Every structure is written in structure tokens, then in C-alpha cells.
Amino acid sequence: MIYHALPGKAPALESIFRDVSKLQAKHGLNAVGYWVPEGNDPAWDNTFVYVLDHPSRKDADANWNALHADPEFEPYFKAAAPLIQQANGIYQVDLVYMRPTDFSALK
């Protein structure tokens, strides 16, 4: 996941995810890590990146649905929403599912 925050709002988004990460784990959304790019191309300014590990795409969908249905998630969503860039009413969040290659150390 790559979140494109409004200018200067990435630190606030990072702070929200510090707390929401515990709720994600409760719903089987197992984080490999969370990152804030630094010293890169300016296109990466104001981004927040994290990677989750799912046993399968089906499990991922079920876990995301469970998180989004949890009433404890709503305050985090409401806090994060105004920090994220939008285009035509769509949040600028890149969600990409990937599979490891056969030579990847992390499977």
C-alpha cells in the first residue's frame, strides 16, 4: 500500500498507522513493515508505504472486510481521510497485490 498524503501530512498519517497497525493485526493483516521514503525523488515526498503478508488473496479480502466492518476502525479512517490526497473524490492510495518470485528470499 502506498498512501499519497497531502503536503506535510505524512507524519500525521504515520502516527495514525502506529495505532491502527494493532487493529490490522487483530484482523489477520500481518505487516511486514511500514516505511516513510526519504531522500528520494520529490515524487515520493508525502508518501507512506507498508507491506502486508497474506496467505492468499481470498484471505486478504476477508481480512480487509473484517477490518473495515470493525467499529473500532471508523475513528482511524475518519482521522486519516483528510490527510490523504484525492482526485475526483477518490483517495490516492495504491493497492498492489504481489506474489514472490521463485528466487525471492521472502515467500
* Angle in degrees, CA 94, 96, 102, rounded to 5: 150
Determine what percent of the chain is predicted with pLDDT higher than 90: 86
Residue 49 lies in a domain: yes
Q: Is residue 81 part of a domain?
A: yes
Question: Mean pLDDT across the chain, nearest whole number?
Answer: 94
Predicted local distance difference test score (pLDDT) of residue 59: 96
CA distance 82 to 5: 9
Structural domain range at position 36: 2-94
40 inside domain: yes
CATH number at residue 82: 3.30.70.100
What would the pLDDT profile of 49-66 be if each residue is shown by its tens digit? 999 999 999 999 999 999
- Give domain status of residue 87, yes or no: yes
The answer to whether position 101 is within a domain reads: no
Residue 104 falls within a domain, yes or no?
A: no
Domain count for the chain? 1
Beta strands in 5-72 (DSSP E): 30-35, 47-53
